[in-house]
Chains A and B, each alone.
Chain A
Amino acid sequence: MKPLTITICTGTTCYVMGSGYLLSLQEQIESACSRPIEIVGSSCLGLCKDGQYGCAPFVQIGSTVIAEATPEKIIETLKQQTARNPMEQI
Chain B
Amino acid sequence: MNGDNNVQRNKRRLLIETAALAFRGRLAEEIDALPVKLFPKGSAPTRCCIYKSRAITRYRLMAVLGYSTQDETDECTPLSEYVRRAEESRPPSGPILTVINEACSACLTGRHYVTNVCRSCVARPCVTNCPKQAVQIISGRARIDEERCVNCGLCLQQCPYHAIVYVPIPCEEACPVGAIRKGPDGHEQIDEDKCIDCGKCLQACPFAAIAERSQMVDVIRRLREQKPIAALLAPALAGQFLQDFPKLVGALLKLGFSRVVEVAAGAEMTARHESRELQEKISRGQAFLTSSCCPAYVQAVRKHIPALAPFVSQTPSPMHFTAQQVKQQQPDILTVFIGPCIAKRREAAENPCVDYVLTTDELGAMLVAAGIELADCPPAEWTESPLPQARAFAVSGGVAETLRAVSPEPNAVRPMLIDGLDKKSLKLLSVLPARGTGGANFVEVMSCAGGCVAGPCNISQPKTAARKVRDFAGLQNPAAQAVS
Q: Which residues of A contact B8 (CB under 8 A)?
A: 18
- Interface size, chain A (Cβ < 8 Å): 18
B368 touches A18 (CB 8 A): no
| Among A9-17, A30-38, A75-83, the stretch in contact with B | A9-17
Q: Can you name the residue of chain A whose Cβ is closest to the Cβ of B242?
A: A10
Inter-chain residue pair count (beta carbon < 8 A): 54
Q: Does A43 contact B (CB under 8 A)?
A: yes
Task: Assess the B464–A16 pair: CB atoms within 8 A.
Answer: no
Contacts of B367 in A (CB 8 A): 12, 16
Chain A hits for B460, CB < 8 A: 20
Q: Which size class do B's interface residues fall under?
A: 20 to 34
- Chain B neighbourhood of A13, CB < 8 A: 16, 368
Cβ contact within 8 Å between A20 and B12:
no
**Which residues of B in the span 334-375 have a Cβ within 8 Å of any Cβ on A?**
361, 364-365, 367-368, 372-375
* CB closest residue in chain B, given A68: B9
User: Known contacts A11-B373, A12-B374; is A17 also within 8 Å of B242 by CB?
Assistant: no
Instruction: List chain B residues, Cβ under 8 A from A41.
Output: 242
**Closest B residue by C-beta to A19:** B4
Least CB separation from B460: chain A residue: A20
Min Cβ gap A6→B in Å is 16
Structural contact, B2 and A21, CB atoms closer than 8 A? yes
A63 within 8 A of B: no
The answer to whether B368 touches A21 (Cβ under 8 A) is: no
Q: Are A24 and B12 in contact (CB under 8 A)?
A: no
Q: Are B9 and A43 in contact (CB under 8 A)?
A: no
Q: Which residue of chain A is the closest to B251 with respect to CB atoms?
A: A12
A40 at the B interface (CB under 8 A): no
Contact between chains at A20 and B375 (CB < 8 Å): no
Additional pairs, 8, CB under 8 Å, beyond known A17-B9, A18-B8, A55-B13 = A15-B374, A16-B16, A16-B368, A20-B242, A20-B460, A20-B461, A23-B464, A44-B375
15 A–B contacts, CB within 8 A, in A order = A12-B372, A15-B241, A15-B374, A16-B12, A16-B16, A17-B9, A17-B13, A18-B8, A20-B464, A23-B464, A41-B242, A43-B375, A44-B373, A55-B13, A68-B9
